[in-house]
Structure 1
Amino acid sequence: MVSRLVLGCGAVGQRLIEKIASRDGDLEVICGDRDRVETLRNDNVRAKHADPADPDIAREAAPTTVDVVVVAGDDAERNVRLARQAAAAFPDAFRMAYTGVEPTDDQRAALGEAVHRVVDPGSATAAYLTDLVASEEGVQARRLRRTLRRIDGTLAVIMHDNPDPDAIASAVALSRIADTVGLDAVACYYGDISHQENRALVNLLDLDLRQLGPDDDLNAFDGFALVDHSRPGVNDQLPEDTPTDVVIDHHPPRAPVEARFVDLRSDVGATSTLMTGYLDQFGLEIDRTVATALLYGVRIDTADFSREVSAADFDAAALLLPHVDTGVLERVESPSVSTDTLETVGNAVRNREVREDVLCSCVGEIGDRDALAQAADRLLDMDGIHTTVVYGHADGVIYLSARSRGSDLDLGETLRSAYDQIGSAGGHADMAGAQIPLGVIGEVEGDERLDRVVRDVVTDRFFDAVQDTRLDRPASFSTETGSFEFPFAAADPDAPGDSGA
């Protein structure tokens, strides 16, 4: 339960108290204006007539644990004194201060040093203040702040393996937030960033990311945060028993998630949307680098606001857009195509097998797993094709990437039906991926024979699943689908689309 303490009560403060009095949690008001105190008491608000500048009175009247302190008087100089007192008495609480009427620049600066959020008269509407101190998002932001403050040392912000733009941007944003509370944070990932657009994003924005390997000593970190995935050891290479401090993700989990702070919201289209909200709640100025990365993350995970998009995604975009470097975005979206990708696309075209509007193609051994996603995207442009699956093998694993446009198939469900018994699969209705250990095929001699056996296993299972899905589909079936947690290790590693799908 949230506990709130209000010090001072001018006209703005009274409107705020009226708004939040009905919210869950404790509320205590200390005010030197007897008439205002009587008015609040008549509204069943716990109010004490006393000098809020007296630290002993504030501590005595406050709840056992104070989560939020609001300085809400009308006098600017007095608010500065109250804010400093609150910082000394309640260092772990989220502190917000109203500037008061006609504050000087020095008074604004002094408030900024003592509290987390300064509100000036122009923005001090009751609805705005209530959102900061009493909304669910405000409560979550304060819980995140407390969790970060309690980490002593260095925080590793872990993306999922072979991270996509949403994971990259979210990790960078959380690292910036950690920095504002005095916590050293490092955005980390296992695997590779091989997709041309993803590499361009990192290089053009000069993002500071650390690539981890299996032999890296995790004891160098004192805390762990997961972004765009929710469990250690699932789509990252952390040990499964890694104690986790923070989890922020937009995929619904398939198992219980354990961490000191958990924010799982599958009703938004991107984790970048959630991180934009936290930057706003923390009152942080969003710089060009973070804004550009976050907007790209939202756009990619929602397929340019056309897939599983929510009002929150549009709100995030509107907040980010004024700070975005559109020139960088244009360059990110027009990277050069690698030789590996061109070769993979060519092999996919040559080896394609088409049944009705569905294309499946084996490209053999691959050097760049990301090229599968780009090949699947490009083959969708072939006349009469609505669904594509492109797959190849590397390092003892078969990797599949699937895309669909205007089809009646749910690709995530279809791939799970085809491959869950021999591997892992998942994704969205129009974008999915899978991976299958080559070991399920058994011993095979020669690359040519291996490719043939792989085709027999993968292609036949896929077309059988497509047929079963269409035969089982009732006439009233809806193709709408929710988002899925990416449940496997980089099946379609780092397409600019959803995490590996």
Structure 2
Amino acid sequence: MTAFVESCVQTVAGSAGAVQRLTRRNPRAAKLLKALANKKKILVTTHLHPDPDALGSSYALYTLLTQKLKDAEVHLSVKGEITGGLNAAFTRYTNMSLTPWDDAALATYDAVVLLDSQPAFAYSPLPPDMVPTAVIDHHPSLGHRLQCAFCDVRTDVGATSSIIFNYFMELEMGIDPDLSATLLYAIETDLAGAARQPAKLDAIALSSLTLTADMRKLYEMRYVDLPRAYYIAYAQALLSAEVYDNLIVAHLDRIDSLEKPAVIADFLLRYDQATWCLVTAVNGQKLVMSLRTTDAKQSAGHRMGRIMRQLGYGGGHRSKAGGYIDLKSETPAEIERTRRTVVARLLRCLKIPASHGQSLVRLKAEE
């Protein structure tokens, strides 16, 4: 037991040393605190309909700021519904206390910190003319130069929660077991699927947080109960899935949670003959989609941007991307026409003939 404890201590010490080496040249947490030093009322927020990484990083930063800025009133608020099986883990098992979102109240804050998003992104909760005080993100920018007082955008990092973990290490702040479990789960879910390899900071965060996390809470988050709608979505995906060489395409019907296409795309991409996966669905008056790839030489974000050109909005990382199109109508014919346009564009991008399509389920039954 003593040897095991010593090895754990060595692991933590090694992780702390690695973080120090990573940040020695460009410490950022102190700069963030300086940018917020004289602010009296601070809003911490993230993108619409947040996912676990958005929620986890926002909650962690809220915790950090409330401890470091004793004279400031810090609020954590998100716009849009927190729905879905994975997101439910946060509302059910964390101590997160959210201030109800109010567009009219934005003017009462003298500082706004936006996480896991950027002002120019379609899912930003902020009005177009509002410049946040700070932006912390890991997504590639859309070519717009950020004008905020503090900007920390690290596209080489797999999760925004890893960046906030980095801040705790820079400031030599402890992370309690509950928050450790929250951050660990957030990083895991953002790295999941698409065979995404953790960056150096992600790996350090994962190894460190594993030693300090409340494992019971982490287990509850990982294995949260799923509603029936999830199983219906999986059934729809499998029945509709078509294989075009190394691409899988599937369509869900109307969904109540934007996480479903992403989760199912991660699942379908595990098919051993696939390196690309596209899942589409209808949410409100939009056709939404998630694109995944394991092809290290290509970028899902770049492909999604090309597919959405003059159609809608799209972007993302090398291995993961998302997008949406505003539907002209919600008739089945219009939904199918729009979906076919998206699939046709992706097939052209990947240089795959449309005639190569086969049912995934029937294909598997024959093998």
**What is the count of residue pairs matched by the alignment?**
332
Shift of 1:399: 0.8
Please name the residue that 1:244 is paired with: 132
> Residue 465 and residue 402 in structure 1: after superposition, are their counterparts in 2 closer, same or farther (change >3 A)?
closer
Shift of 1:382: 5.3
- Where do 1:33-432 residues align within 5 Å? 135-138=24-27, 140-152=28-40, 154-179=41-66, 180-182=68-70, 183-212=72-101, 215-231=103-119, 234-254=122-142, 255-303=144-192, 307=196, 309-381=198-270, 384-405=273-294, 410-432=299-321
Please name the residue that 1:468 is paired with: 349
Please name the residue that 1:111 is paired with: none
CA distance in 2, matches of 1:195, 1:401: 16
Please name the residue that 2:13 is paired with: none
Asked if 2 retains the 8 angstrom alpha-carbon contact of 1:387 and 1:407, the reply is no
Asked if 2 retains the 8 angstrom alpha-carbon contact of 1:414 and 1:465, the reply is yes
> Residue 142 and residue 410 in structure 1: after superposition, are their counterparts in 2 closer, same or farther (change >3 A)?
closer
CA distance in 1, matches of 2:169, 2:201: 13
Please name the residue that 1:458 is paired with: 339
RMSD: 3.0
CA distance in 2, matches of 1:354, 1:318: 37
**Amino acid in the other structure paired with 2:114:** L
**For the pair shown, which has the larger CA radius of gyration, 1 or 2?**
1
Instruction: Describe the SS at the equivalent of 2:251.
Output: strand
Instruction: Describe the SS at the equivalent of 1:217.
Output: helix
CA distance in 1, matches of 2:24, 2:301: 35
Asked if 2 retains the 8 angstrom alpha-carbon contact of 1:380 and 1:403, the reply is yes
Please name the residue that 2:5 is paired with: none
> Residue 232 and residue 198 in structure 1: after superposition, are their counterparts in 2 closer, same or farther (change >3 A)?
same
TM-score by length of structure 1 reads 0.60
Which has the larger displacement, 160-169 or 385-394? 385-394
CA distance in 1, matches of 2:242, 2:121: 36
Shift of 1:206: 2.3
CA distance in 2, matches of 1:282, 1:329: 25
CA distance in 2, matches of 1:286, 1:346: 40
The one-character-per-residue Cα deviations of 1:87-142 (angstroms, maximum 9, x if unpaired) are: xxxxxxxxxxxxxxxxxxxxxxxxxxxxxxxxxxxxxxxxx8xx69x93344x232
Asked if 1 retains the 8 angstrom alpha-carbon contact of 2:194 and 2:269, the reply is no
CA distance in 2, matches of 1:267, 1:381: 24
Shift of 1:383: 6.8
Please name the residue that 2:356 is paired with: none
> Residue 282 and residue 454 in structure 1: after superposition, are their counterparts in 2 closer, same or farther (change >3 A)?
same
Please name the residue that 1:474 is paired with: none
CA distance in 2, matches of 1:204, 1:181: 26
Shift of 1:358: 2.4
Asked if 1 retains the 8 angstrom alpha-carbon contact of 2:233 and 2:260, the reply is yes
> Residue 211 and residue 307 in structure 1: after superposition, are their counterparts in 2 closer, same or farther (change >3 A)?
farther
Shift of 1:155: 0.8
> Residue 390 and residue 251 in structure 1: after superposition, are their counterparts in 2 closer, same or farther (change >3 A)?
closer
**Amino acid in the other structure paired with 2:338:** V
CA distance in 2, matches of 1:351, 1:278: 44
Instruction: Describe the SS at the equivalent of 1:237.
Output: coil
5+ residue gaps, structure 2, are 1-16, 353-367
**Amino acid in the other structure paired with 1:244:** P
Asked if 2 retains the 8 angstrom alpha-carbon contact of 1:143 and 1:261, the reply is yes
Shift of 1:144: 1.7
Asked if 2 retains the 8 angstrom alpha-carbon contact of 1:357 and 1:387, the reply is yes
Shift of 1:253: 1.8
Q: Which has the higher contact order (CA 8 A, sep 6+)?
A: 2
Identity %: 24
TM-score by length of structure 2 reads 0.80
The one-character-per-residue Cα deviations of 1:326-375 (angstroms, maximum 9, x if unpaired) are: 22112211122212222222222333333234232333333333322233
Asked if 1 retains the 8 angstrom alpha-carbon contact of 2:292 and 2:300, the reply is yes
The one-character-per-residue Cα deviations of 1:198-219 (angstroms, maximum 9, x if unpaired) are: 2113321222233525x54223
Asked if 2 retains the 8 angstrom alpha-carbon contact of 1:232 and 1:242, the reply is no
